[in-house]
Structure 1
Amino acid sequence: MSGTETRNLLLEPRWRAAELGAPMPDSTHAASACLPLWEHNIRYEEGDPQVVDRLRAAYPRFCLHPLVRQLCRQVFGAEGAGLIFPTVRCAERAAAHVRNRGGAVTELIPVAGTGATGVRVPSDDFGRLKEYWQHAGEIVSSRAAESLLSGSVAAVTETESRRAVRGRFARYGGCAEDVAWLFPSGMAAIACVWRAIRRLDPQRPTVQFGFPYVDTLKIQQRFHPQAWHFLPRGDAGDLERLAGLLQSQSISALFCETPTNPLLTMPDLAALRRLADEHGFLLIVDDTLAAVINDNPLPWADAVATSLTKYFSGQGDVLAGGLRLNQQRPTADRLRAAVEAEFEELLCDADAEVLERNSRDVAERVQVINRNAAELSERLSRHPAVQHVYYPAATSADTGRGGLMSIVLRSAAERTAGVFDRLQVCKGPNLGTSFTLCCPYTILAHYTELDDVEAVGVSRWLLRISVGTEPLEDLWGRFAAALDGV
């Protein structure tokens, strides 16, 4: 990868077969790589080295960044022998997860003079360790690895950039700065509040309400004590099922998304709040797809987690997350104390600096994306090749419905691969960038469980579209040409 290229992905998207594996954006620290053909996505999921070895970037929780791999080789002497975590507490949690999953940890290895700590495992247990890295999101970022490889500390200090990001996140998120926390990924924010819940209530199960982003459910399913219920549709029927469940069993917390990924449904937060108050559980909301700028769920929730990697940053070259607390809830003091007991500042200064710079225009950028997405969803819904468009419904107080949508085509099994291959927008995972992205989401997120997710309404042929800031007519022309077979 080269950080010197300056290709403008708004004007020259990466979509051609020859661009397989190219970073998006052109940066050493890009969080996505081009998977331009339908078959590339299938072969990526199947581990085909002719695809995997071409990747010059990848989402850092799922695939180790080359700088992170280099750091691991330096510390452990080989790849697949362990992972480096930002602090000893993170490393200890990762080691405990490996043991809880039936594996073994041979040792913790301090990275001299840095605070970062390695967890060495037998090769057979590396997958269990990688689970923690992916689900908990307490990763060493590419910028942190760059510092560590140079013999420097990946500094985590109270810089002006960190204060500016925290203040911006709190202001747009509707809370005070002292109840807003920053993390190295959105999943690290989810994992922190999950641990806080377990600190307050070690045994009672949690509930996942609505089909979620994959790792939020995996935390509940795989992290000790693995006590959970899953109501995958998150609709009125699931509300009734939840109410029935609560008559016979108490729960510690309920997790949901507003809107959900990838079906863009909106849970009834008012109804969930009434049930939470009646039955004494915490309501935790992930509002990543609301982009912080749009509808704010904090008044209904006890806490709200956000991936700042997405719309808040908008450039796809830094991972970060945020958590904010509703101080008006009766449980706020207890939850705050538990979060603070679990929290560590892990977002390194170099990443905070990039995030601050990227997020300066977040409000203006998201409004452009909102307008583009609303119009694109209307046009797609009228196109004869499109069977269904998943996009949040308009409300009377519509402040913007975000930039994510999903579509399923008519005769999807026969047509989807061809349409995807022809589509001239950037193609790969991630979302919320200023440039439009499209990916076969179900293939990438649920390849080993396609029948299961189709049973709850998520088509294996679903295309997820993250709309960017391109001129609308240019953007529509790209989709119309792909749909029309041009």
Structure 2
Amino acid sequence: MNNFERFQTFVLQQSAAKDGAISPPIIGSAAFSYGDPKSAEAVFAGESRKPLYARMGNPTNAKLETLLAGIDQGDGAVVTSSGMGAIAAVVSAFLQSGDEIVCVGGLFGGTYAFFTQNLPRFGIKVRFFKADEEVVLSPQTKMIFCESVGNPSLTVVNFVKLGKLAQKHGILFVVDNTITPLLFEPFSWGADIIVYSTTKVISGQSQALGGAIIYKEPRKDLFIHFPFLQNFYENLGKDAIMGVIKKRALRDFGMSMQAHAAYLTILGLETLPLRIQKATDNAQKLFLALKDKVKVLYAKNEQYFPFGTGQMMGIDFKSKEDAFTFLEHAKIPFITANIGDSRTLALHMRSTIYRDFKANELEYLGVSEGLVRISVGLENCAMIIEDFENALRKVQ
């Protein structure tokens, strides 16, 4: 049974009740009553699984967390208000002033801005390496961060090397797997924590903003750099990382997911395996149809991605004017900043998300003057190809 079939069966069997309402309930309450003082004490001591307060989670979120953990066969998950909320939660929960993050490969513009413009204000240093560069750690390095496939550079890093490096030095290895859920298994290559923007492929319908942190039982060598993690491990066992995230981030910073967003994300999960296979197949066919007509970027790596690298690709035009001409004449794509939708989406990178970045930053991030990011959807592939070819003729 492949990963798609495994999760499709799991999510459909676990997302609904066999007795009563098939659709999972939306528990919108901000507060929860504990019944009696002893129960309240048990809840706050972490001895009871009853909900404490919506900022720390609610039953709808808990249902989503169980389902999301199944994507990567993790030990658990924590959902957040957005994908950036997930990254911010991991960093703020584990790192402090004087620590360092090493980022490898291409990064989403929002992540890069967070690392370069905000973390230095709190004394956390970030160093950047290209996917093909030799990664050098320092005594202050506490975390390695990368994306499964660089957004929008479409670069793929050496996960084997990074996983071994993290384990050798007892530091966290965090992988943003937003673009490739079910297509890539970060835990198999040494990741300690996986983050997602569930807004993208996981939801698939541009209706529910959200993020997620998937974790496994922590490695014992992490306790050297993160002694507080050992304390949580003694109390929570395999869910130690969940305790760190909820008590050192969600409780104090409040990047919690809303119950209605959790509900919509659950609905999206029910078709995730079917959608990602179709969209990936469409992207691969579109790449083959266009690669001799224009410069097309699409990641390929059989070692890590035997079923493909997802629905994101890029068309690298010679100029902004050519990119605009293409987007003005292509009828199928929706021009938007999102990716991973069921619809085909497109956006010129340099004039939008990356408009304020410096030349050296654009070079590192793989954003050229004419780059158009494409998120291929579920439409009829022949129609997508015909539409793109017609628009390309207008450029030429």
> Which ranges of structure 2 fall in alignment gaps of 5 or more residues?
1-28, 32-52, 224-228, 231-239
Equivalent residues in 2 for 1:423-442, closer than 5 Å: 423-424=330-331, 425-442=333-350
Between the aligned residues of both structures, percent identity stands at 25
Match of 1:349 in 2: 259
Task: State the number of aligned residues.
Answer: 320
8 Å CA contact 2:100–2:127 kept in 1: the answer is no
Tell me, in whole angstroms, the C-alpha distance in 1 between the residues paired with 2:55 and 2:104: 38
Q: 2:312 aligned to 380, 391, 404, which one? A: 404
Match of 1:57 in 2: none
Equivalent residues in 2 for 1:159-174, closer than 5 Å: 159=59, 161-174=60-73
Q: 2:360 aligned to 449, 452, 465, which one? A: 452
Amino acid across the alignment from 1:357: L
Match of 2:101 in 1: 206
Residue 306 (1) aligns with residue 196 (2): yes
8 Å CA contact 1:309–1:318 kept in 2: the answer is yes
8 Å CA contact 2:101–2:126 kept in 1: the answer is yes
Tell me, in whole angstroms, the C-alpha distance in 2 between the residues paired with 1:157 and 1:267: 34
Tell me, in whole angstroms, the C-alpha distance in 1 between the residues paired with 2:347 and 2:363: 21
8 Å CA contact 2:320–2:370 kept in 1: the answer is yes
SS in 2 for 1:476: helix
SS in 2 for 1:285: strand
Deviations 1:173-224 (A, max 9, x none): 2212xx21111111111111001222xx542221222231123233333134
Residue 369 (1) aligns with residue 279 (2): yes
Amino acid across the alignment from 1:363: P
TM-score, with length taken from structure 2: 0.74
Deviations 1:31-51 (A, max 9, x none): xxxxxxxxxxxxxxxxxxxxx
Amino acid across the alignment from 1:315: Q
> Which ranges of structure 1 fall in alignment gaps of 5 or more residues?
1-112, 116-152
Q: 1:276 aligned to 156, 161, 166, which one? A: 166
Tell me, in whole angstroms, the C-alpha distance in 2 between the residues paired with 1:175 and 1:277: 18
Deviations 1:316-354 (A, max 9, x none): 011011101122622385461422322348212222222
Distance 1:471 1:450, change over 3 A: farther
Tell me, in whole angstroms, the C-alpha distance in 2 between the residues paired with 1:444 and 1:230: 25
Match of 1:254 in 2: 144
1:406 is displaced (CA, Å) by: 1.0
8 Å CA contact 2:106–2:131 kept in 1: the answer is yes
Tell me, in whole angstroms, the C-alpha distance in 2 between the residues paired with 1:226 and 1:437: 37
Distance 1:189 1:232, change over 3 A: same
SS in 1 for 2:269: helix
Q: 1:466 aligned to 369, 372, 375, which one? A: 375
Match of 1:188 in 2: 85
Deviations 1:57-96 (A, max 9, x none): xxxxxxxxxxxxxxxxxxxxxxxxxxxxxxxxxxxxxxxx
Match of 2:235 in 1: none
8 Å CA contact 2:174–2:195 kept in 1: the answer is yes
8 Å CA contact 1:166–1:182 kept in 2: the answer is yes
8 Å CA contact 1:255–1:285 kept in 2: the answer is yes
1:416 is displaced (CA, Å) by: 2.1
Equivalent residues in 2 for 1:14-413, closer than 5 Å: 158-159=58-59, 161-176=60-75, 179-198=76-95, 201-221=96-116, 222-223=118-119, 224-235=121-132, 237=133, 240=134, 242-243=135-136, 246=137, 249-290=139-180, 292-299=181-188, 300-327=190-217, 329-330=219-220, 331=222, 333-334=229-230, 336=241, 337-342=243-248, 343-344=250-251, 346-383=256-293, 386-387=294-295, 389-395=296-302, 398-409=306-317, 411-413=318-320
Distance 1:267 1:426, change over 3 A: same
1:450 is displaced (CA, Å) by: 4.9
SS in 2 for 1:288: coil
8 Å CA contact 1:453–1:459 kept in 2: the answer is no
1:156 is displaced (CA, Å) by: 8.2
SS in 2 for 1:364: helix
Distance 1:454 1:182, change over 3 A: closer
TM-score, with length taken from structure 1: 0.61
8 Å CA contact 2:194–2:215 kept in 1: the answer is yes
Amino acid across the alignment from 1:165: L
SS in 2 for 1:445: coil
1:296 is displaced (CA, Å) by: 1.3
8 Å CA contact 2:344–2:374 kept in 1: the answer is yes
Tell me, in whole angstroms, the C-alpha distance in 2 between the residues paired with 1:323 and 1:273: 18
Match of 2:45 in 1: none
